[in-house]
Chains A and B, each alone.
Chain A
């Protein structure tokens, strides 16, 4: 007899309990069949207290684990996460850190159960299970996902989980942002749904594998021990909670927290949004043609189609489709649907269901399986697809969610909840011998502190936010200098990096590094969701999107001479038409506007310089509605330029006492002129459509990467393709034709 929610006991096999839970949700609409939250209703004080204790024990695990880890990524940046789960895998609560992984960890536990691991090899106290393999639901190889069963009174009552981002995944290129990986075989060390230890200790052969197959084994093993320390912390602290509040109460409450959170999210959708259909296109580039790549098939440019089609139903459930997603790419930017859904859970928690962050809110989502063979669902159609930096298309796609829900909140008047889209994520990794003679590779955390999106009532904040982690922390410059053979020459707010609108996004920053004390250092300017040939489709309410990512560097520079002569060095990026790397210093090879991502053609040497910009976030509103005083403030702070002030915001200024001031009368006239100019140069949509459809049909001025993208999008999602043809009134058999070869 199969188990149902009412016949389940703690002796029922976990897989049967999991299936019974699914069935109960289907029949009752409530998780675990919980039509009433009795623990909450009967004893709300204890219910609330235990929630905070459980949250706190996860945060204690985070603090403990990151310090045990010792790698700069965890110890300095906190780039890890711990969680507590029900016996059947639902995330109950999580620590601070990289919250994007909560769903992934939950799915991993469920996957272990579904695959029958309870029977073989079995679950017992002190077992350590891990996965980082995207073929089995992992996101990318540097993110090691761990879980440990928690037994109490001889019963498996919960799970502790953790993910940490290691400094080197053993992939074909050094580091952890494997954007260049051509296939899954180059993605690095696989941990494929394995038991990697027992009795709270790793197997010796697990450590041997890490020592032989990663470039920074001390750090990678340090991360493993950090994960373990944190999971043991969760287990031991949970035991104390169970002793104090009773097993029955805590287990009931854990289920109720998940259902409670689902109800909260559904209610919030119903009371703060509007039913209907939402469509949001999004695109991102990956221009690699002519660059240093690994295989001949990678000498190409790619464009991603990252569509979001979302329907809010009458019952406040949400349907989500990625119909139109373009095909896989021969790089590390493909992602499994499991990992994508985990990212969605994080994004959703940011915009809707944040009261108790757990598995509850996204259970009210019906996510249609993305088209097979697309970047969002590569396996098994493209079984060899790499996912070295699977986050890259995922976070770019997720940015849509912020804008989409921002629009919905506006319609109900909840202006305080509105947000525009996020910025992009371009990483910096180094590989080489550092100042202590130690080989080191790893990710800096510059990208973990971007500008935050514009709000409905204010600009975003500068360098204070990151889409994939609420930490928003780029770490101390001095700590970065301890690990890597670099010196910070500057860390500056980047002017005009938050788009142009009534409210601008928070500004990003630029790090300026001088390479120092190394025989040679490789700089990998990586793609974790960057754009370099395009900008985001985030012109919300008439704003202009934030600028593309374009780093710079100088090789064999005159910095040594400048230092000896005590002359000014290079400390900032310089204006877009006056880059500092070519105007402030000399170099044998100077690149002031490189199309990212890339690896430097040869190792950088002492006194070479890198100018690495970090994106600001997106703006909202017509730029000529920006408060002139805000524009003036930005001018005085050096955060915008006179060109942008006058040409884009229509603000005319004077400079009576050395400080810029707004000329309000002249500004009003200028803005009226801009409105008239717009009307003069624009044409009725129909007029444009008639001409544009001819250009679409002729595929005029469309880069090959764009045509390749459209061809795969329309092939993989025929209905989406039909929509494109119908809109442009194209022949029924029309298809975009990429260049031969």
Chain B
């Protein structure tokens, strides 16, 4: 079973690992300790102390914040319960007319805002652009991934988390609150 130095994995993440070494990683059997090394690397790079449970994206992490599983940006900005689509706790900027659209796409490269809108999800803490959606009006935001964390840790990694949490999408609970 292959195993790679943490330093090489860091270089890979930063896009500076030489191509032969990258090819080696691509072709080798996957290293069983990669997840733990990756989490260690990311933990050292974020601006918070809460232990990372899952790197949701390169910028967003599900963390254990004093017993609560919440999503945090690498800057520490909190987006709440990981079972609620984190986008509901983000800032959003929507390009839904030509004036806003042409700041990104000019001339013949501009999509038609009657067909599609660009939704930019921004971190209120650091101003990072976390995701962009290109969808027609009416499309609920994609909840890209709702992990089954307990199954993952208990059955796949073989080390259950100290507490459990129901695997459910709680996004509509938040919407219902707003609708009151």
Taking the complex as formed, is B170 at the interface, i.e. its CB lies under 8 A from any CB of chain A? no
Interface string of A457-476 (1 = CB under 8 A from B): 11000000000000000000
| Bound CA span A594–B38, Å | 47
| Bound CA span A643–B105, Å | 10
Q: State the Cβ distance, B45 to closest chain A Cβ, in Å.
A: 13
Chain A hits for B148, CB < 8 A: 274-277, 314
Chain A hits for B7, CB < 8 A: none
Chain A hits for B142, CB < 8 A: 279-281, 537
Interface string of A494-516 (1 = CB under 8 A from B): 00100010010000000000000
Taking the complex as formed, is A541 at the interface, i.e. its CB lies under 8 A from any CB of chain B? yes
Chain B hits for A547, CB < 8 A: 105, 109
Taking the complex as formed, is A567 at the interface, i.e. its CB lies under 8 A from any CB of chain B? no
Chain B hits for A536, CB < 8 A: 134
| Bound CA span A541–B121, Å | 10
Tell whether, in the assembled complex, residue A576 and residue B108 are in contact, meaning their CB atoms are under 8 Å apart.
yes
Tell whether, in the assembled complex, residue A706 and residue B136 are in contact, meaning their CB atoms are under 8 Å apart.
yes
Chain B hits for A681, CB < 8 A: 93
Given contacts A270-B156, A457-B15, contact A685 B87 (CB under 8 A): yes
Chain A hits for B46, CB < 8 A: none
Tell whether, in the assembled complex, residue B138 and residue A702 are in contact, meaning their CB atoms are under 8 Å apart.
yes
| Bound CA span A268–B156, Å | 12
Given contacts A416-B25, A689-B178, contact A544 B132 (CB under 8 A): yes
Q: State the Cβ distance, B135 to closest chain A Cβ, in Å.
A: 6
Interface string of B118-153 (1 = CB under 8 A from A): 101110101111111111111110111111110110
CB-CB contacts below 8 Å: B42-87 with A: 54-59, 87
| Bound CA span A729–B139, Å | 13
Residue on A nearest B11 in the bound complex, by CB: A457
Give the number of chain A interface residues (Cβ < 8 Å): 94
Taking the complex as formed, is A288 at the interface, i.e. its CB lies under 8 A from any CB of chain B? no
Interface string of A402-427 (1 = CB under 8 A from B): 00000110111111110000000000
Residue on A nearest B169 in the bound complex, by CB: A277
Taking the complex as formed, is A676 at the interface, i.e. its CB lies under 8 A from any CB of chain B? yes
Tell whether, in the assembled complex, residue B15 and residue A627 are in contact, meaning their CB atoms are under 8 Å apart.
yes
Tell whether, in the assembled complex, residue B144 and residue A279 are in contact, meaning their CB atoms are under 8 Å apart.
yes
Q: State the Cβ distance, A402 to closest chain B Cβ, in Å.
A: 14
Q: State the Cβ distance, A201 to closest chain B Cβ, in Å.
A: 45
Taking the complex as formed, is A4 at the interface, i.e. its CB lies under 8 A from any CB of chain B? no
Tell whether, in the assembled complex, residue A542 and residue B128 are in contact, meaning their CB atoms are under 8 Å apart.
yes
Residue on A nearest B25 in the bound complex, by CB: A416
Taking the complex as formed, is B175 at the interface, i.e. its CB lies under 8 A from any CB of chain A? yes
Tell whether, in the assembled complex, residue B90 and residue A688 are in contact, meaning their CB atoms are under 8 Å apart.
no
Chain A hits for B9, CB < 8 A: 413, 415
Tell whether, in the assembled complex, residue A413 and residue B175 are in contact, meaning their CB atoms are under 8 Å apart.
no
Given contacts A414-B34, A702-B136, contact A685 B89 (CB under 8 A): yes
Chain B hits for A544, CB < 8 A: 104-105, 118, 132
Tell whether, in the assembled complex, residue A703 and residue B109 are in contact, meaning their CB atoms are under 8 Å apart.
no
Q: State the Cβ distance, B126 to closest chain A Cβ, in Å.
A: 7
Tell whether, in the assembled complex, residue B91 and residue A684 are in contact, meaning their CB atoms are under 8 Å apart.
yes
Tell whether, in the assembled complex, residue B12 and residue A534 are in contact, meaning their CB atoms are under 8 Å apart.
no
Tell whether, in the assembled complex, residue B132 and residue A710 are in contact, meaning their CB atoms are under 8 Å apart.
no
Chain A hits for B90, CB < 8 A: 685
Given contacts A410-B57, A685-B89, A703-B112, contact A280 B144 (CB under 8 A): yes
| Bound CA span A648–B39, Å | 30
Chain A hits for B39, CB < 8 A: 413
Chain A hits for B135, CB < 8 A: 281, 283, 537
Tell whether, in the assembled complex, residue B131 and residue A696 are in contact, meaning their CB atoms are under 8 Å apart.
no
| Bound CA span A272–B147, Å | 14
Interface string of A535-567 (1 = CB under 8 A from B): 111111111110110100000000000000000
Chain B hits for A575, CB < 8 A: 107
Tell whether, in the assembled complex, residue B178 and residue A686 are in contact, meaning their CB atoms are under 8 Å apart.
yes
Q: A276-B146, A503-B15 are in contact. List 5 more A-B contacts (CB 8 A).
A: A276-B147, A276-B148, A541-B130, A696-B137, A706-B138
A-B contact pairs, 26 of them (CB 8 A): A274-B147, A275-B156, A276-B145, A276-B152, A280-B144, A281-B133, A410-B55, A416-B12, A538-B134, A539-B134, A541-B130, A542-B129, A548-B110, A675-B127, A682-B92, A683-B93, A685-B89, A689-B175, A696-B138, A701-B114, A702-B137, A705-B115, A706-B115, A724-B140, A727-B172, A729-B175
8 smallest CB-CB distances across A and B, nearest first, come from A539-B132, A413-B38, A675-B127, A593-B108, A576-B107, A682-B91, A542-B129, A276-B147
